[in-house]
């Protein structure tokens, strides 16, 4: 397991490098000059030159990247072109809302999705529910689903606030309330994916030879499902939970925008609209780091559930 | 041979002159019958494209025409889907939005396919370093959330939808690469590709023609699913206002506009939102249909399970002469849910302290008989006639409750796949503790002592070490000992062992047989052992039950079976056994094959392969007849045949 984790860590370094390099590489494809393109055709030559100097565009790309990278390693991701605040400062403040949302959605989706998947693996009506339900749940665009929830629960029935976020440190109750609709929005497609994967993994496990041995030895169906099959199905389920977490991370882009949550996703949208390159570059790095940490945690969890991984 | 092939032939020759249109119709009817949702989805997508192309003509209003006096109206005769916040006709905008919405998704799809297919096939076909490089790069691309990269692309390239969609196709292509690679890997090993390679066809041509054709199914599935995903991403970016749409309406943009006026009315949200959802759903259903169509050719769907516990089962329950037998199986029939009979008449018994072997070629229904006796048939198979009397109780009629009473405590089971029969996530100790606890309430220390004792009973030399191991850390022979220990945990009176030594090394086989024999002698256990190996029969069994094509054809003591077989199949099977053959002479084989379930003749099922067959053999169903002193046979000519002369001794 340690070896697996180390391998994953070794893999993370090039991953982080490639992800961070991306916007610099893309700029090379831009016709003309990034500063000109960023400011648009109405900008004066002085404005363009000022931005050029700020971004260091007169230097070759590799040198620009090197300068960015050496600063980034010290925790300095530059300054936002719009707010003039340090990028790291802006993004650190955005972490709590985003992580609350993503972790909440992953937890809700995992608990309900796994429960549904287990029931579905045992045939009967739940199998059909998971089949057709997941097809529909994965077809509904998250941004539209979020809006429909706002219409129903906030505008129509006034059960939850339509938008906004309250920090957990300010008021935990309001924090929870402000997260209900966004978490439902993110967790519905996630739940579908987890339920489907759990159903498949559980069916495979329940059809293994060892299940027959256990049945022959009078081991209860309850123990076969929960103690044995579920443990054997854990690795594929963990894999999908990791993917769902990363999917929820990407989902924050639309969902935080709808619910006006000041997180990484909504910041990324604003930065893109304002063409605030240093800020969006910072979001890429934060996203990538979160992905790396999640993958690492999933690997460690594999080892817990699968003794074959553990020994190696 | 039946008349079936002939009718098929005439049907085919009749069909050929019929016109193509009729054949198309019949194909469509068939597609409709097997994949109604897939057909609906395809028709929907086709109609959508037609409406999209015709939109400028059929749209009731120009999409940009504003009417500030009639904003945010609901559906009416004038505006079938109402108007938006600028009084524009929603239906018109929805229709005109088809092509941009789908068009951008298609751009991404093209990039996805153009990158994914060649790289995937190349990776799978070439293997080695090319494969490693492509896989590594794919792995990196897949680890970065695509959405954020798209935002970077949009920030750099001035919200260009084209750039975003190309980037999306590129970022998603590793998924397709993986699928195409996997398919190509499988196809590469197939004889026709190897043959093409040997006969000098260039690798590029093999990849482009043979492999591409074969991997098309999975690729189409991926393409369909991705088309839906691309539509969602495009809509989300348009919704967020990050795409410069050049004034053309798109569905995502329409949802975005509707979201601005959500506190006044929610109506304008629905037409574009539902359009996106239904279209994505259609692509998903199409993908599913393609997947099912490519796997349906292999296996037809089983019909729903019909449980017939009643009349048929109850019929043959009482057999008075069974008092001395621990297990008595009578007329057991095992049927697939589709109605195909796998075992039609399994009739045998196992006495107290007796070891009985069930012998026969593969496909004769031995394992199904064993599993049916244990009440452990897999999904899709059920026992629907006969009786399984265990210690005077009909388990088959008693169902799950009756089995629950005897499993573990009376009846033990040892499977063929020794390692696969142990849960890889639990230690040996965990297995044994769980099973022992079902039968005895023991303190922790006593539990440990009992698990040790069980391992000692199956002659494992260092039980303390083995207890702490996981199944993947022990050998197959050791695993089979553990399985026997699990079977013994409830101190059963009968162990049913299904080919317990087949998967093991020869030396280990002998050890396991010796162990079973010693256990049997030491504890007075009864054993029912399934095998295809006469050596095992000779080694361990008191009596043998010979099965052929789903029925018992002969039973008798091992001595009489070996020396005076009463059924020609038994004799032939004995003659074909390498361990009894005369050294230096040519090994006899049985010509032909076991008729598969569903193709059994009415009369003797062995008649087609039997050198002694007469017309009488083929006339009708043959019962199992007692043969003094203690044998039974299904052969009508048993009295006249001297089968022992055909044996190699």
CA distance linking residue A183 with residue A255, whole number of Å: 9
Given the structure tokens 């938006």, which residue do they identify? B84
CA distance linking residue B262 with residue B593, whole number of Å: 73
The answer to whether B143 contacts A305, with C-beta atoms less than 8 Å apart, is no
What residue segments make up the domains of chain A, in order of their start? Answer: 2-72, 91-311
> Across the interface, which of A26, A223, A283 has its CB nearest the CB of B153?
A26
- The C-alpha of B262 sits at a distance from chain A's nearest C-alpha, in angstroms, of 7
Q: Pick the residue of A144, A281, A304 with the most B CBs within 10 A to test the interface with B by mutation.
A: A144
CB atoms within 10 A of CB A208: 19
Mean pLDDT of B46-53: 93
The answer to whether A216 contacts B487, with C-beta atoms less than 8 Å apart, is yes
Task: Read off the pLDDT band of B649 (50, 70, 90).
Answer: very low
Q: How far is CA A172 from CA A92, A107, A175, in A?
A: 20, 18, 5
- A213, B486 in Cβ contact below 8 A? yes
- Sign of the Cα torsion B63, B68, B69, B75 reads positive
Positions of E strands within B411-542: 411-414, 494-498, 526-531
Q: Is B33 helix (H, G, I), strand (E, B) or coil?
A: helix
CA distance linking residue A154 with residue A260, whole number of Å: 14
- A106, A248 in Cβ contact below 8 A? yes
Q: Which of B246-260, B282-296, B395-409, B499-513 has the least mean pLDDT? A: B282-296
The answer to whether B152 contacts A280, with C-beta atoms less than 8 Å apart, is yes
The answer to whether B281 contacts A271, with C-beta atoms less than 8 Å apart, is no
Give me the helix-helix angle, B476-488 and B506-523, nearest 10°.
20
Query: For residue B174, which of B123, B126, B214 has the smallest C-alpha distance?
Result: B123
> Across the interface, which of B285, B376, B423 has its CB nearest the CB of A215?
B376
Q: What is the ipTM of this complex?
A: 0.90
CA distance linking residue B177 with residue B121, whole number of Å: 8
The answer to whether A218 contacts B239, with C-beta atoms less than 8 Å apart, is no
CB atoms within 10 A of CB A15: 21
**Region label for A31, one of left (φ > 0), alpha (ψ between -120 and 50) or beta (otherwise):** beta
- A174, A217 in Cβ contact below 8 A? no
- A216, B487 in Cβ contact below 8 A? yes
User: Could you give the residue ranges of the DSSP H alpha helices within B356-475?
Assistant: 366-374, 395-406, 428-439, 444-457, 463-467
- B569, B576 in Cβ contact below 8 A? no
For residue A219, the chain B residues in CB contact (below 8 A) are: 408, 434-435, 438
CA distance linking residue A151 with residue A140, whole number of Å: 16
> Across the interface, which of B148, B421, B483 has its CB nearest the CB of A284?
B148
- B230, B111 in Cβ contact below 8 A? no
pLDDT at residue A33, as a whole number:
67
The answer to whether B413 contacts A18, with C-beta atoms less than 8 Å apart, is no
Q: How far is CA B595 from CA B364, B602, B615, in A?
A: 9, 12, 19
Give the residue from chain A lying closest to B262, CA to CA.
A151
Task: Read off the pLDDT band of A199 (50, 70, 90).
Answer: very high
Quick: pLDDT tens for B359-392. Answer: 988 888 899 999 999 999 988 899 999 999 999 8
With 70 as the cut, is the pLDDT of residue B21 above it?
no
Quick: pLDDT tens for B200-242. Answer: 777 777 777 777 777 788 888 899 999 999 999 999 999 999 9
The answer to whether A218 contacts B426, with C-beta atoms less than 8 Å apart, is no
- The C-alpha of B372 sits at a distance from chain A's nearest C-alpha, in angstroms, of 12
CA distance linking residue B48 with residue B331, whole number of Å: 60
Q: Is the N-terminal amide bond of B629 cis, ω within 30° of 0?
A: yes
The 3-state secondary structure of chain A reads: CHHHHHHHHHHHHHHHHHHHHHHHHHHHHCCCCHHHHHHCCCCCHHHHHHHHHHHCCCCCHHHHHHHHHHHHHCCCCCECCCCCCEHHHHHHHHHHHHHHHHHHHHHHHHHHHHHHHHHHHCCCHHHHHHHHHHHHHHHCCHHHHHHHHHHHHHHHCCCCCCCCCCCCCCCHHHHHHHHHHHHHHHHHHHHHHHHHHHHHHHHHHHCCHHHHHHHHCCCCHHHHHHHHHHHHHHHHHHHHHHHHHHHHHHHHHHHHHHCCCCCHHHHHHHHHHHCCHHHHHHHHHHHHHHHHHHHHHHHHHHHHHCHHHHHC
The answer to whether B262 contacts A269, with C-beta atoms less than 8 Å apart, is no
For residue B420, the chain A residues in CB contact (below 8 A) are: 208-210
Quick: pLDDT tens for B291-319. Answer: 887 765 444 444 444 444 333 343 333 44
CATH class, domain A91-311, is mainly alpha
- Sign of the Cα torsion B198, B203, B205, B210 reads positive
> Across the interface, which of B149, B371, B425 has its CB nearest the CB of A232?
B425
> Across the interface, which of A27, A254, A291 has its CB nearest the CB of B156?
A27
For residue A217, the chain B residues in CB contact (below 8 A) are: 407-408, 412-413, 435, 438, 486-487, 489-490
For residue A150, the chain B residues in CB contact (below 8 A) are: 262
CA distance linking residue B495 with residue B527, whole number of Å: 5
Give the residue from chain A lying closest to B372, CA to CA.
A216
With 50 as the cut, is the pLDDT of residue B81 above it?
yes
The answer to whether B422 contacts A219, with C-beta atoms less than 8 Å apart, is no
Query: For residue A295, which of A78, A5, A52 has the smallest C-alpha distance?
Result: A5
Give me the helix-helix angle, B128-143 and B161-188, nearest 10°.
140
Highest mean pLDDT among A57-71, A176-190, B20-34, B245-259: A176-190
> Across the interface, which of A15, A30, A231 has its CB nearest the CB of B156?
A30
| DSSP 8-class letter at B416 | S
- The C-alpha of B22 sits at a distance from chain A's nearest C-alpha, in angstroms, of 34
User: Regarding predicted confidence, which is higher, B36 or B314?
Assistant: B36
- The C-alpha of B287 sits at a distance from chain A's nearest C-alpha, in angstroms, of 11
> Across the interface, which of B144, B277, B412 has its CB nearest the CB of A141?
B277
pTM higher than the cut 0.95: no
CA distance linking residue B176 with residue A13, whole number of Å: 25
With 80 as the cut, is the pLDDT of residue B644 above it?
no
The answer to whether B281 contacts A217, with C-beta atoms less than 8 Å apart, is no
φ and ψ at residue B602, rounded to 5 degrees: -70, -40
- A257, A269 in Cβ contact below 8 A? yes
- The C-alpha of B293 sits at a distance from chain A's nearest C-alpha, in angstroms, of 17
């Amino acid at each position: 397991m340690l070896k697996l984790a180390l391998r994953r860590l070794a893999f993370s370094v090039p991953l982080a490098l490639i992800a961070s390099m991306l916007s610099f590489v893309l700029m090379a494809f831009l016709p003309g000059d990034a500063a000109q393109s960023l400011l648009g055709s109405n900008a004066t030559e002085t404005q363009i030159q000022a931005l050029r100097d700020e971004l260091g565009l007169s230097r070759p790309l590799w040198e620009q990247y090197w300068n960015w990278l050496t600063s980034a390693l010290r925790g300095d991701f530059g300054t936002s072109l719009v707010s003039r605040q340090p990028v790291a400062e802006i993004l650190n403040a955005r972490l709590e809302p985003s992580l609350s949302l993503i972790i909440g959605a992953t937890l809700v989706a995992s608990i309900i999705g796994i429960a549904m998947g287990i029931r579905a693996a045992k045939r009967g009506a739940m199998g059909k529910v998971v089949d057709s339900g997941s097809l529909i749940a994965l077809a509904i665009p998250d941004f539209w689903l979020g809006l429909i929830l706002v219409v129903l629960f906030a505008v129509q029935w006034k059960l939850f606030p339509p938008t906004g976020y309250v920090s957990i440190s300010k008021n935990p109750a309001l924090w929870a309330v402000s997260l209900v609709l966004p978490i439902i929005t993110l967790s519905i497609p996630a739940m579908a994916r987890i339920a489907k994967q759990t159903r498949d993994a559980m069916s495979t496990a329940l059809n293994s030879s060892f299940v027959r041995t256990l049945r022959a030895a009078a081991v209860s169906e309850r123990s076969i499902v929960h103690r044995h099959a579920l443990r054997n199905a854990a690795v594929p389920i963990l894999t999908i939970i990791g993917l769902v977490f990363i999917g929820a991370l990407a989902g924050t882009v639309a969902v935080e925008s709808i619910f006006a949550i000041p997180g990484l996703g909504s910041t990324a949208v604003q930065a893109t609209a304002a063409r605030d390159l240093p800020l969006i570059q910072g979001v890429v790095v934060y996203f990538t780091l979160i992905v790396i940490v999640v993958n690492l945690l999933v690997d460690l969890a594999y080892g817990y559930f699968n003794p074959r991984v553990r020994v190696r | 041979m039946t008349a079936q092939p002939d009718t098929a032939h005439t049907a085919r020759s009749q069909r050929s002159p019929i016109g193509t249109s009729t054949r198309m119709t019949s194909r469509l009817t068939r597609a409709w019958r097997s994949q109604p949702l897939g057909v609906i989805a395809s028709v929907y997508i086709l109609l959508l494209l037609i409406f999209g192309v015709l939109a400028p003509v059929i749209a009731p209003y120009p999409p940009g025409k504003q009417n500030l006096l009639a904003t945010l109206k609901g559906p009416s005769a004038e505006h079938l889907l109402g108007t938006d916040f600028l009084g524009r006709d929603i239906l018109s905008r929805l229709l005109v939005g088809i092509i941009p919405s789908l068009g951008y998704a298609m751009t991404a799809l093209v990039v996805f396919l153009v990158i994914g297919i060649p790289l995937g096939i190349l990776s799978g076909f070439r293997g080695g370093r090319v494969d490693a490089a492509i896989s590594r790069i794919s792995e990196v691309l897949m680890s970065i959330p695509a959405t954020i990269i798209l935002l970077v692309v949009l920030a750099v390239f001035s919200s260009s939808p084209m750039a975003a969609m190309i980037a999306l196709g590129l970022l998603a292509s590793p998924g397709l690469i993986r699928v195409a690679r996997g398919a190509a890997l499988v196809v590469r090993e197939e004889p026709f590709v190897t043959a093409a390679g040997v006969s000098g066809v260039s690798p590029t041509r093999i990849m482009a023609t043979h492999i591409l054709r074969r991997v098309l199914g999975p690729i189409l599935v991926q393409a369909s699913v991705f088309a839906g995903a691309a539509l969602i991403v495009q809509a989300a970016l348009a919704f967020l206002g990050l795409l410069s749409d050049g004034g053309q309406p798109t569905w995502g943009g329409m949802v975005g506009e509707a979201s601005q006026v959500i506190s006044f009315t929610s109506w304008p949200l629905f037409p574009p939102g539902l359009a996106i959802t239904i279209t994505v759903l259609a692509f998903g259903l199409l993908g599913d249909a393609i997947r099912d169509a490519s796997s349906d050719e292999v296996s037809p769907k089983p019909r729903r399970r019909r449980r017939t516990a009643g009349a048929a089962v109850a019929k043959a329950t009482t057999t008075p002469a069974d008092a001395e037998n621990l297990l008595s199986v009578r007329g057991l029939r095992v049927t697939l849910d589709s109605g195909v009979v796998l075992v039609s008449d399994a009739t045998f018994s196992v006495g107290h302290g007796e070891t009985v072997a069930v012998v026969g070629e593969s496909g004769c229904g031995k394992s199904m008989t064993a599993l049916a006796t244990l009440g452990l048939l897999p999904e899709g198979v059920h026992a629907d006639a006969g009786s399984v009397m265990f210690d005077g109780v009909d388990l088959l009629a008693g169902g799950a409750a009756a089995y629950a009473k005897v499993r573990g405590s009376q009846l033990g089971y040892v499977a063929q796949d020794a390692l696969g029969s142990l849960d890889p996530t639990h230690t040996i100790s965990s297995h044994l503790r769980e099973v022992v606890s079902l039968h005895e309430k023991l303190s922790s220390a006593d539990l440990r002592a009992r698990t040790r004792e069980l391992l000692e009973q199956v002659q494992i030399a260092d039980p303390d070490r083995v207890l702490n191991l996981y199944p993947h850390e022990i050998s197959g022979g050791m695993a089979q000992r553990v399985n026997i220990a699990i079977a013994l945990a409830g101190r059963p009176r009968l162990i049913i062992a299904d080919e317990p030594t087949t998967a093991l090394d020869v030396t280990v086989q002998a050890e396991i047989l010796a162990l079973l024999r010693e256990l049997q002698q030491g504890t007075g256990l009864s054993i029912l052992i399934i095998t295809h190996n006469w050596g095992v029969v000779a080694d361990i069994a008191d009596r043998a039950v010979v099965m052929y094509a789903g029925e018992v054809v002969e039973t008798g003591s091992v001595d009489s079976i070996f020396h005076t077989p009463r059924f020609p199949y038994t004799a032939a099977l004995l003659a074909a056994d390498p361990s009894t053959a005369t050294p230096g002479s040519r090994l006899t084989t049985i010509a032909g094959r076991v008729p598969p379930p569903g193709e059994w003749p009415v009369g003797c099922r062995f008649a087609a392969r039997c050198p002694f067959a007469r017309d009488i053999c083929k006339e009708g169903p043959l019962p199992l007849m007692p043969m003094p002193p203690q044998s039974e046979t299904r052969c009508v000519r048993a009295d006249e045949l001297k089968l022992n002369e055909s044996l190699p001794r």
